[in-house]
Amino acid sequence: MRGKIIRFFGSGDKKALYILAVIVGFVSAVAAVLLKNTVHQTHLFLTKGFSEAQANWMFLLYPLVGLTLTVLFVRWVIKDEISHGISKVLYAISRRGSRLRSHNVYSSMVASTLTVGFGGSVGLEAPIVLTGSSFGSWIGQYFHMNYKTITLLLGCGATGAVAGIFKAPLAGVGFALEVLMLDLTMASLIPLMISAVTATTVAFFLMGNDVLFTYSLTDVFTVDDLPGFLILGVFTGIISVYFSYGLKKIEGRMDAITSTWKRLAIGGVALALLIYFFPPLYGEGYDILSQLLQSDPEVVWANSLWFSKMANPWIFLTV
């Protein structure tokens, strides 16, 4: 029986591929929902009872604890490097025959829960993409498929992960086509769409009909608004370049430090201080962005030293 199943799915038949796309999309969505809820519940548990009107000293401790637990997990349990999830997926496609290690199915989820749940100011997109891609890759390897099919299933995993975490099927497909640079053919597009729709359906079923960002447009766009949008685009582009440049510089400096514990101390203390002075940096930050879209700017200063001082515009400008 097992041999027949392996031969059926390993045959490359379209029906078999579509079934696997459903399975990969389903698992990727469940993983995305599990990761998001685990991080959210960890955040709520650790910050329960915090006062919005004053700073909270525990913000100085949580990031250090989370990073320490992550380092211990990676060094003593995984014993492999798991950072830069999307880069790892791209490297696997180009250099490793789209074969990712089996531990990547769960290791990024555990490490991200410890890091982000305890305050690490990073997103969950890369870890969940690595998780979904790894599961798709593992499925392809298990059924002894060729490189092209394994790559397609890897892409289905990435598509399902993005579609599941954002509840946006087109975003998942677009990610696979643009970032992973998969072939834009009907043979590849159909499995990707199946995975994306499956993942989105599962995400809506498990998390309800709420979407990540909700907002309403109160002003009608006019041509006179165009210069403002152009300036905003230029400004955000400059910020993006600055972020990429700064990230590479800091990574280079940190990589030059050979001691893991020294890197942990420097990075942990710096992160803890930033979060203490600017608590919105705690975690992935989507809740803060959502509240800002609801015209609630005071949320930026909640739990901080600046909460009681924001009535003074000069202090606001100084900060």
Tell me if 28 is assigned to some domain: yes
Report the distance separating Cα 202 and Cα 293, nearest Å.
26
Tell me if 192 is assigned to some domain: yes
Tell me if 266 is assigned to some domain: no
DSSP conformation class of 124: S
pLDDT value for 314 = 46
Report the distance separating Cα 189 and Cα 236, nearest Å.
32
> In a 3-state reduction of DSSP, which class is residue 280?
helix
Tell me if 226 is assigned to some domain: no
Q: Would you give per-residue pLDDT tens digits along the chain (319 residues)?
A: 566 666 666 666 788 889 999 999 999 999 999 999 999 889 888 888 776 556 678 888 999 999 999 999 999 998 888 877 788 898 988 888 889 988 999 998 999 999 998 988 777 888 999 999 999 999 999 888 889 999 999 999 999 999 999 899 999 999 888 888 777 777 788 999 999 999 999 999 998 887 776 767 777 778 888 999 999 999 999 999 999 999 889 888 988 888 889 999 998 999 888 888 888 788 777 777 777 777 666 666 665 565 555 544 444 444 4
Tell me if 260 is assigned to some domain: no
CATH of the domain at 192: 1.10.3080.10
Tell me if 9 is assigned to some domain: yes
Structural domain harbouring 201: 2-207
> In a 3-state reduction of DSSP, which class is residue 169?
helix
pLDDT value for 54 = 62
Sign of torsion, CA 106 107 109 113?
positive
Tell me if 287 is assigned to some domain: no
Tell me if 18 is assigned to some domain: yes
Q: Say how far residue 192 (Cα) sits from the centre of its chain.
A: 19
* Count of domains forming the chain: 1
Report the distance separating Cα 152 and Cα 147, nearest Å.
9
- List the one residue out of 84, 81, 82, 91 whose CA is nearest residue 180: 91
pLDDT value for 317 = 47
